[in-house]
Amino acid sequence: MRPRPPSERDFTSFLRSPAVASRVGLALGICFGLAFLTGLYSHWQQNPDAWFPPPTRPVWGYRLTQGLHVASGTAAIPLLLVKLWTVYPKLFAALPDLRKPRAALLNALERGSIAVLVASGIFMLATGIANSAQWYPWSFTFRLTHYALAWVAIGALVVHIMVKLPLIRGALGADIDSTENDRPGTAHRASGMTRRGLVGTAYAAAAVAVLSTAGATVPLLRKVSVFGVRSGDGPGGIPINRSARAARVTALATAGDYTLVVANGDREVEVDLDRLTSMRRHTYDLPIACVEGWSAQGTWAGPRIRDLMALVDAPEGADVVVRSLQPSGPYTTTLLPGNFAAADNTLLATHLSGERLSIDHGFPCRVIAPNRPGVLQTKWVARLEVRT
C-alpha cells in the first residue's frame, strides 16, 4: 500500500500558527525593509547621479548604513528559518476549486509570491553572508545581481503582505495564544515550548547572530563577535581588505620612478613622491567602511585632492576620475564626485596614524574621503584627472 502524501492537517503543533508567523514575520519584514533601504543607499553611493551626488556629511554615514545593512541581513537569517518552519504546513494545503476563479487566482498569486519571496530571500541572505566573508563560489557579478534581486524580493514581500494583510492584522491584534485564526486540526494548547517562548527565542537568536558579527563595525563588540569578518588588526589599526600582492601592484607601487599624474584636459602635471610628501599635509580622523560590513576609524594625513587639482587649474567642484596602478579589477578606475573632490577632508593620503602608508594600505598614496564606500577609496593612485 502506497503511503499517502502529507497534508496540512498532519501538522498539529500549537506553535505552527498565524499568531507566531505574524510576529516573527513582522520582525523579518523590518529586517528585509532595512536591508533594502540601506542597500539602495549603498548602490547610490557606488553609482552616483551627476545631478544628485551623495552627501559628504556625516562622515560616518556610510559606516552606519552599511553596518545596519549587514546587521539586518544577519538578523533575518534565524527569523527566516523560524518563519519557514512555522508556515511549512501550508506547502501541503489543498488546492482551491478551479471552478471558483477568484479563489484560484488569489491562491496562485499567494503561492507564487511566496515561492519568489522565499527563493530570493534565501539567495540574498546566502550570497550576502558569502560576500561578507569574501567567498565567491559563483561566476555572476555579485553587486548587480544582489541589487536586481533585492527589487524582486521586496516586490514579492509587498504582494505577500497585501494578500495576507487581513490575517496578519487579526493575528497581531489577538492574544498570541488565541486559536481563532489557527488552521483546522491545530492543537489547542502547547505541549512543550509556548508560542511566546518560540517568538522570544527567534528574537534572541537574531540578537545573538548580530552580536556575534557586529564587532566588525562596533569596536566594543569585537571580543564577543566570534564570527566577525574583520578583527580590527592591521597597520594603523585598519584591516587589510586586498593586499598589494593580490592586486599585483607591489613592483609598480615601490618603483623609484613613481609619479602621480594630475590632468585637466591637455594639461598634465607629474608629481613625484618627494614633491607629494612635501606638499602641505592635512590630518583628519575618518572611518573607512567596506561593503562587506566592516569598518574602522583611522587618522589619515596627506594633501587635499582639491589642492592637487589646483595644480592644473581644475574648476572648483569638478568631478575627478581616479585611476589606480592596479592593472585589473572592477574598481581600478573610480569617480570622485565634485562635492567630494572639493571637500576639506578629502585627501590623497600618504600617512596613517603618523606613519607612512603600508604597501597593503595603498602606498605611495590613496584616496580617503568622508561618507564613502571603501571600494571607492582607491589605493595605489596613479592618476587624477578632471572628468570632461
pLDDT at 1: 58
Asked if pLDDT for residue 247 goes beyond 90, the answer is yes
Name, in order, each residue with C-beta under 8 angstroms of 135's C-beta and a sequence gap of 6 or more.
none
pTM of the model: 0.90
Average pLDDT over residues 258-262: 97
- Best CA proximity match to 214, nearest among 201, 200, 230: 230
Residue 338: pLDDT band with limits 50, 70, 90: very high
210 and 350 in a common domain: no
pLDDT at 191: 76
118 and 265 in a common domain: no
Average pLDDT over residues 255-268: 95
* The three grid cell numbers given for residue 56, joined into one nine-digit string: 559628504
204 and 332 in a common domain: no
Other CB atoms within 10 Å distance of the CB of residue 145? 14
H and E: helices and strands count for the chain: 10, 11
pLDDT at 49: 80
pLDDT at 365: 97
* The three grid cell numbers given for residue 66, joined into one nine-digit string: 552599511
**Is the pLDDT higher at 233 or at 387?**
387
Number of domains forming the structure of the chain: 2
Averaged pLDDT score across all residues of the chain: 91
Least confident of 191-195, 280-284, 321-325: 191-195
pLDDT at 219: 74
Average pLDDT over residues 18-42: 96
Which residue among 161, 186, 221 closes a domain?
Answer: 221
147 and 102 in a common domain: yes
Residues 333, 337, 340, 341: is their CA dihedral positive or negative?
A: positive
Average pLDDT over residues 345-354: 97
257 and 377 in a common domain: yes
pLDDT at 123: 96
**Is the pLDDT higher at 298 or at 191?**
298
Question: What is the enclosing helix (H) or strand (E) of 347?
Answer: strand 347-349
Residues facing residue 322 across a β-bridge? 334, 384
* The three grid cell numbers given for residue 289, joined into one nine-digit string: 567602511
Average pLDDT over residues 66-72: 94
- For residue 297, is it within any domain? yes
- For residue 157, is it within any domain? yes
- Which residue type is seen at 388? T
Q: What is the CATH number of the domain that holds 251?
A: 3.90.420.10
- For residue 3, is it within any domain? no
Q: What is the CATH number of the domain that holds 144?
A: 1.20.950
Q: Which domain holds residue 194?
A: 8-221
Residues 48, 354: Cα–Cα separation, whole Å: 32
189 and 247 in a common domain: no
- For residue 229, is it within any domain? no
pLDDT at 100: 79
130 and 40 in a common domain: yes
Q: What are phi and psi of 119, to 5 degrees?
A: -65, -50
pLDDT at 221: 78
203 and 243 in a common domain: no
In angstroms, the Cα distances linking 215 to 53, 108, 204 are: 30, 43, 18
151 and 60 in a common domain: yes
Average pLDDT over residues 81-90: 93
Cα Dmax for the chain: 88
Other CB atoms within 10 Å distance of the CB of residue 138? 10
245 and 102 in a common domain: no
- Dump pLDDT digits (tens) for 110-162: 888 889 999 999 999 999 999 988 889 999 999 999 999 999 999 999 988 98
pLDDT at 224: 76
- For residue 232, is it within any domain? no
252 and 193 in a common domain: no
Residue 267: pLDDT band with limits 50, 70, 90: very high
Asked if pLDDT for residue 375 goes beyond 90, the answer is yes
Residues 115, 314: Cα–Cα separation, whole Å: 54
322 and 190 in a common domain: no
Distance of CA 234 to the CA centre of its chain: 22
Residue 58 preceded by cis peptide, ω within 30: yes
Residue 386: pLDDT band with limits 50, 70, 90: very high
* The three grid cell numbers given for residue 145, joined into one nine-digit string: 545581481
Burial of 25 (0-12, 13-18, 19+ CB in 10 A): buried
Asked if pLDDT for residue 231 goes beyond 60, the answer is no
